[in-house]
Structure 1
Amino acid sequence: MIVQLTGNVKFPITLDPSVWIFDDRKVEFDQAFQSSDVEQDVEDENEKASKRWNREVYQQKINPPVNKSISRFERKKILQSTYVMSLKPFLENAEVSDSASSAILVTNNGNQEISLDTLKEGFALFAVEGKPLKEDGPLHFYFGDESNKDTPIKGVSEIKIK
């Protein structure tokens, strides 16, 4: 259930989509293609998280830290929602070479070559109704322009940067 990000990158990395359910960068599938609203929501959420962090750091100086868990409502929502993740932050961490221009998505049904820009703007579906993709996973790839919303690239097990 892991995905290798290899090829023309400075740092090859291993992605584990099974833990992305706990990642704050995940986006609900239905909201992923509402670009400007999602970006604004992410920025707003980042600002709120920053303020929470500052408040927590300040309070830790006064009070001991408290182990806070996910609320029952949040847990239920996580286990019932379908999520995607942008691959852009992972590509930035891998430091894709300037000479790279395309990517090969290695799947169970053969390879598919796409442009690097398409990969950066796309989304990886990793959970349906809160559960990882087991049969045709670990990832499904959706173009950022929704052109393959009904026919995603399924069974992505490796991403090779060319």
Structure 2
Amino acid sequence: MESIIPIKGNVQHQITLDPTVWIFDDRRIDLETFFTADYVEKDEIEEYKRDMGAHWSREIMEGATFPPTLKSEKKYEKTRMLTGTFGMLLKHFVQNAKPAQDARTLILETSDGQEHTFPIAQADELVLKFSEKGKPILENGPVYVLFKDGSNLKDPIRNVNAIRID
């Protein structure tokens, strides 16, 4: 099984996706809470500004020392990464590939010869699940494609080996 997934077709930039490194990507979403809670996608720039402001305020109030909770926060995050179930929204990658203005469809090609076709606007509604309980998806992977509404949680699209934009 190949773990690289190309985005090809009617795009300005043909790119390849490597789901094995997404665990380190800040855009990853925790699928254990994504389908149960009201998920709100965060504005990364605003979140960065808020975090930097809080860090600056903490340094002014406490000095440049690290609080005792920082070590436990890092340990918690590491444990969560090693045991969690994560996904990535497909829209990030489709945007980076820059589909041509006349592109209309997004096709998920699978290793068993099937094609799953969606309007390109529906890329916002697709989630690439790349990790299950801290382990990469090896069987029928490297990703499972889920709908954002959770309607195919029990039967995701499997064996995706390419994404084609037409």
Q: TM-score, normalized by length of structure 1? A: 0.80
The Cα of 1:78 is off from its aligned counterpart by 0.8
Equivalences for residues 122-161 of structure 1 within 5 A: 122-161=126-165
The Cα of 1:34 is off from its aligned counterpart by 5.9
The Cα of 1:120 is off from its aligned counterpart by 2.6
Task: Give me the whole-angstrom Cα distance separating, in 1, the residues matched to 2:89 and 2:155.
Answer: 18
Kindly provide the CA deviation profile for residues 104-139 of structure 1, in whole angstroms up to 9, marking residues without a partner as x: 111122222222122232100001112111121111
Q: Residue 79 of structure 1 aligns to a residue in which SS?
A: helix
Partner of 1:26: 28
Q: Which amino acid aligns with 1:39?
A: V
Distance 1:92 1:34, change over 3 A: farther
The Cα of 1:46 is off from its aligned counterpart by 4.9
Structure 1 stretch displaced more, 130-139 or 141-150 = 141-150
Q: Residue 98 of structure 1 aligns to a residue in which SS?
A: coil
Percent identity for Structure 1 against Structure 2: 34
Q: Which amino acid aligns with 1:18?
A: T
Partner of 1:47: 46
Task: Give me the whole-angstrom Cα distance separating, in 1, the residues matched to 2:14 and 2:49.
Answer: 30
Q: Residue 71 of structure 1 aligns to a residue in which SS?
A: helix
Q: Residue 152 of structure 1 aligns to a residue in which SS?
A: coil
Task: Give me the whole-angstrom Cα distance separating, in 2, the residues matched to 1:115 and 1:47.
Answer: 30
1:71 paired with 2:74, answer: yes
Structure 1 stretch displaced more, 88-97 or 46-55 = 46-55
- State the number of aligned residues: 150
Aligned CA-pair RMSD? 2.5
Structure 1 unaligned segments of length 5 or more: list them. none
Q: TM-score, normalized by length of structure 2? A: 0.78
Q: Which amino acid aligns with 2:5?
A: V
Task: Give me the whole-angstrom Cα distance separating, in 1, the residues matched to 2:14 and 2:165.
Answer: 10
Task: Give me the whole-angstrom Cα distance separating, in 2, the residues matched to 1:133 and 1:154.
Answer: 10
1:88 paired with 2:87, answer: no
Structure 2 unaligned segments of length 5 or more: list them. 65-69
